[in-house]
Amino acid sequence: MSTSRVGVQAEHDYEVVIGRDLLGELPGLIGRAAGRVLVMHPAALAPVAAVVRADLQARGLEVVLTELPDAEEAKTVEVAAACWSLLGRAAFSRQDVVVGLGGGATTDLAGFVAASWLRGVPVVQVPTTLLAMVDAAVGGKTGINTAEGKNLVGAFHSPVGVVCDLSLLTTLPAADLRAGLGEVVKCGFIADERILELVEASPSAATDPSSPVLAELVERSVSVKARVVSADLREASLREILNYGHTLAHAIEHVEGYRWRHGEAVSVGMVFAAELARLAGRLDAADVARHRRVLTSLGLPTTYRGDRWPALLEAMRRDKKTRRDTLRFVVLDGVGRPGRLEGPDPDLLAAAYAEISR
């Protein structure tokens, strides 16, 4: 496939490079001012990190590798503090660069460490999962978790570049690839119906990491996020539409102790939001059914256990999208027509949850 580049306008403009075998793009994004690079990666990507280090060292850069815990276990203040200590011992300056090589948890942490070290050093994101490529690594939202909830501590800090090397997806477990498609489908429902049509035409191609269909889905999803982020960097208004399905999703992740994959929780959250919009008289039943049909075709869940509603409601009240005690949801008035529903009646919420509980 050919390499594509999607521009993002932020506090500084940058590009998301999408294609195959793209690790050679990394030195150009790091630039000539840097002398040192910290590459943050999970254990499973140690071989890839070693290749990156050898390439960067051959170009005269001092490279430090740090291995992170898996998934959400990396997003703690303790892990962040260990990274700060490493940067201090290596005398990292404001011209030096952090590289996040891994999934969404890695890119979230790498971005936060870069944002907070010396009040901000450059970060290049190299997402290696589908979820990270279409969501976490693009847009400059960084963060870590606390005992009270997900991503409650963080900063807006745009990368200087993002490399989406689709060849890295060939070793991704099938369940993780499917979970990433939850965020892809979200982009389809809020902004680009062609994404839904591609999935409906061939769910098997959408789940094939070597297919041109998946490549187009990635490019379209990144383009949706780039347009939204360019118009609303700090989530003052428009950017909230990217949270479609996320209010319940984050609550599910919290209640499950982050054992659920993010894209799986978003899948359930989108069906809940669709049912909520239907019951509020804003979305047709056919569009709700389309949610279930598209997500089910990809092997994603659309229901959740019925005995968890009190715990989920409490978790949603602590969500960062809540204003005071008022719950706020992104809902649809039709495909590609996102809106907001603020302070819905508790009975309406319970009725929507009854539609997705098993």
Burial of 18 (0-12, 13-18, 19+ CB in 10 A): buried
Phi-psi sector, 69: left (phi>0), alpha (psi -120 to 50), beta: beta
Please indicate whether residue 41 is annotated as part of the active site. no
Q: Are 43 and 103 in contact (CB under 8 A)?
A: no
Check 261, 262, 291, 292 and give the catalytic one: 262
Q: What number of other Cβ atoms are within 10 A of residue 43's Cβ?
A: 11
SS3 content of the chain, % helix, strand, coil (to 5): 55, 20, 30
Check 239, 261, 278, 328 and give the catalytic one: 239
Check 25, 72, 235, 240 and give the catalytic one: 235
Check 25, 157, 243, 253 and give the catalytic one: 243
Please indicate whether residue 150 is annotated as part of the active site. no
Check 157, 225, 292, 328 and give the catalytic one: 225
Please indicate whether residue 225 is annotated as part of the active site. yes
Token reading at 63? 């490279």
Please indicate whether residue 235 is annotated as part of the active site. yes
Check 119, 259, 324, 358 and give the catalytic one: 119
Check 246, 254, 292, 328 and give the catalytic one: 246
Interatomic CA distance for residues 351 and 347, integer angstroms:
6
Q: Are 157 and 114 in contact (CB under 8 A)?
A: yes
Please indicate whether residue 317 is annotated as part of the active site. no
Backbone angles phi, psi at 147, to 5 degrees: -60, -25
Q: Are 81 and 117 in contact (CB under 8 A)?
A: no
To 10 degrees, what angle do helices 212-231 and 193-201 make? 160
**Which among 36, 63, 60 has a CA at the least distance from the CA of 51?**
63
Check 150, 250, 254, 261 and give the catalytic one: 250
Check 15, 25, 72, 183 and give the catalytic one: 183
Interatomic CA distance for residues 98 and 111, integer angstroms:
8
Burial of 81 (0-12, 13-18, 19+ CB in 10 A): exposed
Q: Which residues contact 315 (CB under 8 A, 6 or more apart)?
A: 149, 250, 251, 254, 255
What's the CA angle centered on 176, arms 13 and 269, to 5 degrees? 80
Check 41, 75, 141, 157 and give the catalytic one: 141
Please indicate whether residue 262 is annotated as part of the active site. yes
Burial of 329 (0-12, 13-18, 19+ CB in 10 A): buried
* Residues forming a β-bridge with 221: none
The residues carrying an active-site annotation are: 119, 141, 183, 225, 235, 239, 243, 246, 250, 262
